[in-house]
Structure 1
Amino acid sequence: MEYLFSFAPIDPEVLLILVAEIAIAIFLLALMRYCYGLFFATNSTDELAKVDNFAFGISLAGSIAGLGIILTGAITPKYNAGMGSELINMFSYGVLGMILLYLGRFVHDRWSLHLIDKRQQIADKNITVGIVDAASVIATAIIIRAMLLWVEGFNPSAIIAMISAFAVAQTILTLVTRIREHHYAKYNQLDSLQDAFADGQIALALRYSGQLLSTSLAVTSASYFLDYHPDTIVQNLIGWLIFGLLMTLAMWMLTTMAKKLILRGINLEAEVDHQHNVGVASVEMAISIGIALMLTTLLA
Structure 2
Amino acid sequence: MNPFITITNFTSHQVLLLFADFVLALMLLFATRIFLKSRVKSKPEDMLASQDNFAYGISFAGSLVAMAIILSGAISSGMRSDFIEDFSRMLSYGIYGLILIRVGTYLFDRIALNQLDKWQELYNKNISVSIVDAASAIAIAIVIRELLIWVHGLSVYTVIAVTVGFVIAFCVLIIVTRMKEKEYAKNNQADSMQKAFKLGQEALALRFSGQLISTSLAVSAAGQFFIFDPATLVSALLGWSAIALIMILLVSTISRIAKHFILWKVNLVTEVDHQHNIGVASIEMATSISIALILTSLIG
- Equivalent-residue separation in structure 2 for 1:234 and 1:15 (angstroms): 37
Aligned to 1:20: 20
1:66 to 2:32 alignment? no
Cα contact 1:34–1:44 (8 A) shared by 2: no
1:23-34 → structure 2 map (5 Å cutoff): 23-34=23-34
Identical aligned residues as a percent: 46
SS in 1 for 2:52: coil
- In the alignment, the residues of structure 1 paired with residue 133 and residue 77 of structure 2 have an alpha-carbon distance, to the nearest angstrom, of 31
Whole-Å separation in 1 of the counterparts to 2:39 and 2:157: 29
Post-superposition shift, 1:287?
0.3
- The CA deviation string for residues 17-66 of structure 1, in whole angstroms up to 9 with x for no partner, is 11111111111111101111113354222212222211111001000000
Q: What is the SS of the residue equivalent to 1:287?
A: helix
Distance 1:9 1:244, change over 3 A: closer
Between 1:139-148 and 1:236-245, the stretch displaced more is 236-245
Partner of 1:40, secondary structure, is: coil
1-side partners of 2:294 and 2:287: how far apart?
11
Show the counterpart of 1:267: 267
Where 2:76 maps in the other structure, the secondary structure is: coil
After superposition, residues 230-269 of structure 1 pair within 5 angstroms as 230-269=230-269
- Name the SS of the counterpart of 2:231 in structure 1: coil
* 148-157 or 207-216, which deviates more: 148-157
Aligned-partner Cα distance in 2 for 1:8–1:34: 36
TM-score, structure 2 normalization:
0.95
Looking at structure 1, the residues matched to 88 and 66 of structure 2 have their Cα atoms a distance apart, in angstroms, of 20
Compared with structure 1, are the counterparts of its residues 78 and 161 closer, same or farther at alpha carbon in structure 2 (3 Å cutoff)?
A: closer
Q: TM-score, normalised by structure 1?
A: 0.95
State how far apart, in whole Å, the 1-side matches of 2:34 and 2:78 are: 32
Q: Secondary structure at the match of 2:229?
A: coil
In 2, Cα distance between equivalents of 1:218 and 1:9: 34
- Equivalent position amino acid for 1:157 in 2: Y
Which residue number corresponds to residue 286 of structure 2?
Answer: 286
Residue of structure 1 in register with 2:161 after alignment: 161
2:182 maps to 182
Give 5+ residue unaligned stretches, structure 2: 1-5
On the 8 A contact 1:168/1:240 being kept in 2, the answer is no
**Which residue pairs with 2:86 in the alignment?**
86
3-state SS in 1 of match to 2:7: coil
Structure 1: 5+ residue runs without aligned partners? Answer: 1-5
